Chains A and B, each alone.
Chain A
């Protein structure tokens, strides 16, 4: 397991999207400390140091979570709800990064307390631009929360 403190948790079930996201993050040299999980259940296990991630230091939280909505097992909105419902984790910035521009998803996400809602553009140029903006804001500009 990666001992380095994880800066970005990427929750993404599509390997292509995962790779593109990683490429974009790397292209702008935003961070290398990325951890990828492939479904909602795994994401929850990781965040709450449960299941196969029970050995993880539960007090170490990623600086930002990039969350897809359409996920196997537990969907993204449920993951978001759980994160924002727990006082220990609700401080973690969550950016929904999804293909869906369905209004209901946007409204529901903001209701649950999402920090940003980004629709993944089809165009790679625009896509990398979006990722850059997210990284700039949440990793470089936003002061990391005081670690306990």
Chain B
């Protein structure tokens, strides 16, 4: 890579120097046009450095100009022109650099910019140079007038028309040279020589410029013939053609040649622009086709008169219809429906009213949220082996916003639909199962309710009779009954009481499981105070110290939480009342971010081996003779806490006391 670069670098240096020298040599053969009293001298050698600068940039141009090219002028204009030379010659070098600089800039542009064309950037240079010729040059010449005489006799007065003449001459020569270089750089062999990129349609350019040249040559010959035959019969044809052509004829014919070449270059450029935009269009169409074809989603597009323009491979695979049979036809309905009808793309393209869409797709369509005038449809297609498709269609618009077609995408959603259906079936089954299970539960609940109703009614009545009649017996027949008989009757009463309590507790226990939770913020401290007040009467007379610690507000059912505290407190009192310095403490603490409430006593406690049994219904760790109770209280506590989503546990030691802990899961019902 580097090698070729340095190779081409050497090549460019050598050519630049060679061309400079060539220009240097050529400039000694000036083309002179006589405009009495002045002579217009055209330095055709300038064409070489400007060719280099436009092809390779200002650095090579400057090299070429310094080696030769412009330098000729020092000789040509020389000291005979006085100081004027210093102000006239250097601008030529500047001219080369300026065009080379702009050419470099022009090459970097991705989009060609008309104002960077050499013909346009020539203008500012020409204006500045003209100002120079009218002011500085005139002043310099007046200081040291040229050796040749002006038309007027005063050597130090420069006629204004001389300056005007020079300005015009330089502008005309400048443009002629630019035109010639432009022509040359349009030619294929020149571009090859300068190793430049091949332009589109190079052959055409060649042809057009050659044609322009031939036309000019033809004119040259025709003019010579006409001269010989009509205007100057004394001149021979060969003289008129080349050997002895008058200055006027050369001027006219050269002007014609230049005009013809200019026209040729212009035509070639326009044609090339046209060709470039054609190619760009073809490229963009090709790109669009590739985008659509490469898409894994089936897509087709319709254009003018609803004729299919695109039918991608995914669409071929989905429908089984090849693009070759579909594109160019209006058979977009064929793969999907059994008879001819508009597909969604057709409806969208015609901007059909929503009623029409609904006529063809009933309620299966929705308006797209993405694009206005775009519809989405989910439909089942028996003709496609029973596929479900998610179809979207959107209008295609031209740059004026007019609809010129439509694009339709067809997403196969069969699997999704099947999954959905499966979910529906499963849900329905699940719902059915839930309904059945709920009904069973409700039946069981009703049965249980009936049972507890019976218990509360039917079990109590006989007890009441036993209790009542034994009492009456004792009261009414006190005197007739021996002491022992009275004691027995007392036992009957006592046991009936006990059984009554058992029934009450059992009913309470079964009810705590059934009532709906009514969860709200509960002030625990207040609840404990209420519970203590309720228990007061039962434990009046016992010396028990009660310590109430800090209790946060909790989320619970206030009625049930009170049951918990009443049961735990009465439990604690029951087992501490026999002790001296009896002490019951209620409090709370945070363990692992969870509020734990506790009721602690220093009573008789229990053996931790039986801790599993304390919360079981009817389980007692102490004999009834020692401590009264039915063994339901803690079971109720357990059930209430569990219903709140919390936990309850106990720690105890025989004769040291017991602590009951519980938490309340923040459960809302």
Contacts and interface: CB of A to CB of B under 8 A. Distances in A.
Contacts of A125: 471
B453 A122 contact: no
Given A99-B456, A100-B456, A122 B472 contact: no
B500 A23 contact: no
A94 B606 CA distance: 51
A3 interface: no
Nearest to A16: B465
Nearest to B499: A122
B468 A98 contact: no
Interface in B413-458: 452-453, 456-458
Contact of B461 (A17, A123, A124): A17
A121 B460 CA distance: 8
B456 A101 contact: yes
B464 A127 contact: yes
B469 interface: yes
A17 B460 CA distance: 11
A124 B456 contact: no
B463 interface: yes
A120 interface: yes
A14 interface: yes
A90 interface: no
Nearest to B507: A101
Contacts of B332: none
A121 B452 CA distance: 17
Tell me the dominant secondary structure on chain B's binding face.
helix
Contacts, number: 59
A102 interface: yes
Interface string A14-46: 101100100100000000000000000000000
Interface of A: 14, 16-17, 20, 23, 69-70, 98-102, 120-125, 127
Contacts of A121: 464, 500
9 contacts: A16-B461, A17-B464, A23-B468, A23-B472, A99-B460, A100-B457, A122-B497, A123-B497, A124-B467
Given A16-B465, A17-B464, A122-B460, A100 B453 contact: yes
A121 B507 CA distance: 15
Contact of B471 (A70, A100, A102, A124): A124
B462 interface: yes
Contacts of A124: 464, 467-468, 471-472, 493
A99 B467 contact: no
B469 A16 contact: yes
Interface in B460-497: 460-465, 467-469, 471-472, 493, 496-497
